[in-house]
Amino acid sequence: MGAALRTFEAAGGWPEVRGLAVDPADLAELDEAVEFAVRWHGDQRRPAGEPYLEHLLEAVRVLVEGVGVTDTDVLRAAVLHDVVEDTGCSLDEVRERFGPRVAELVGWVTKDEPAEGQSKAEVRAAYLDRLRHAPEDALLVKLADRLSNVQRLDTHPRPEKRRAYYRETLATIVPLARQHPWFRAWYATWAREFAYLDTPDGRQVPGA
């Protein structure tokens, strides 16, 4: 039997995550990023109903506790990674507030708006393909982002989405994790634990 899947929670909000092993000198910059994200994401919720901020902070927790990231720009990008895609904030606003490197990282993990005649599915496919060429730090943010989204995939309210997301993650994200030992091991455990989703009915066999 393989190791149990490690999950990362942030139900305690920023005060809980803030207490992780991050250089105290960097906390003010992270505080600013969290405040910015809270203002833009407002009362957005995740599919299972949790406050959206939990997802952003879970990604931070993955990077700090799982991978050992201490780079403030990478951690701020994790906090801000959905602010352009999912709110009215522009990448220029991120750049003006947090600098070019954070904006570049956020840009890499942000899907483009569909061009004329382009479907959302085509945009998503192009985005996932582009990630193969992402710089190392942007890839870390993406891997942490997806980890947060799939670690409790069985709580997603739509069974068809669970199956599609599982298969997409296997096909496009797991290959990106291969060059990172910690992420490679985590996604291998995750793939085994949720393998039942890759069955015709996507149901777990009792006792399996």
Q: What amino acid positions are annotated as catalytic residues?
A: 85-86
**CA triple 146-134-40, angle to 5 deg:** 55
**Side-chain half-sphere of 77: how many Cα atoms within 13 Å?**
31
**Side-chain half-sphere of 84: how many Cα atoms within 13 Å?**
21
Cα–Cα distance, 49 to 54 (Å, whole number): 11
Cα–Cα distance, 181 to 177 (Å, whole number): 8
3-state SS, 148-187, equals HHHCCHHHCCCHHHHHHHHHHHHHHHHHHHCCCHHHHHHH
- Start-to-end C-alpha separation, the chain: 11
Count the helix, strand and coil residues of the chain and give each as a percent rounded to the nearest 5. 65, 0, 35
- Dihedrals φ, ψ of 64, to 5°? -80, -55
Cα–Cα distance, 199 to 187 (Å, whole number): 19
